[in-house]
Amino acid sequence: MVKSPRGRTSPDFSLKDVPGTSGRLDVVCRCIIAALLTPEGVRRGVRFTAVLVGPPNPPLSITVDGGLVDAISLDEVEVATSLAEAMRGNAPLGYSVAAKGLEEVVDEISRSGYTIYELCPRGLDIFSASFGFGESVAFVLGADIGLSREDKDLLRRAGAQPLSIGNQAYLASHCISFVNYLLDLRSR
């Protein structure tokens, strides 16, 4: 799950300038691609949720279910088009939209039995974590400007454990790719 503090909550952005007009939904698009796309197709066991809290109608969560989508494009503009269609009420297969913020989404994930981890520079080394194949895990991170102190406090109250893939900040999409790599290794 990625929280995008500036991500537009309306499809009124330009597909010709997604980074400049959408509150950086281009970052969310790259995260969707990183979470769900493999050279062999879609990761069927992955669900990706973006929590958008930018103008004009926050909050808005968009979920992309790898078990339901037909395909995920490598093209950010095509993914942004799917996000815009979902916001207009014409959600492509596997996309769903709800007026839910981080607290509601985290609560749903927690009640569903997932172990929640926050990806951040100052957490437990991810290689020391004990999650593995078959375990229901959820990873939460911020988009381009990270998570707020309020968000981090909410995650702690929900029992989320902070995990680190390194002592510096990385691009959100790269963090997702790394976690998928690690999960793939642990599933062998």
Q: What is the pLDDT of residue 133?
A: 60
Rounded Cα–Cα distance for residues 110 and 176 (Å): 20
Domains belonging to the chain, first-starting first, are: 2-179 (3.40.1280.10)
Burial (CB count within 10 angstroms: exposed 0-12, middle 13-18, buried 19+), residue 21? middle
pLDDT in tens, 144-172: 888 999 999 999 999 999 999 998 889 99
Given a cut of 70, whether residue 120 has pLDDT beyond it is yes
Rounded Cα–Cα distance for residues 75 and 100 (Å): 27
Q: What is the pLDDT of residue 132?
A: 65
Given a cut of 80, whether residue 140 has pLDDT beyond it is yes
Given a cut of 90, whether residue 134 has pLDDT beyond it is no
Q: What is the pLDDT of residue 146?
A: 86
Q: What is the pLDDT of residue 145?
A: 87
Cα end-to-end distance, the chain, whole Å: 24
Report the mean per-residue pLDDT for the chain: 95
Which of the two residues, 92 and 167, has the higher pLDDT score? 92
Given a cut of 90, whether residue 113 has pLDDT beyond it is yes
Average pLDDT over residues 45-53: 97
Given a cut of 70, whether residue 79 has pLDDT beyond it is yes
Please give the backbone phi and psi of residue 95, each rounded to the nearest 5 degrees, phi first.
-100, 140
Given a cut of 70, whether residue 94 has pLDDT beyond it is yes
Average pLDDT over residues 132-147: 86
How sure is the predictor about 186, in pLDDT bands with cuts at 50, 70 and 90? Answer: confident
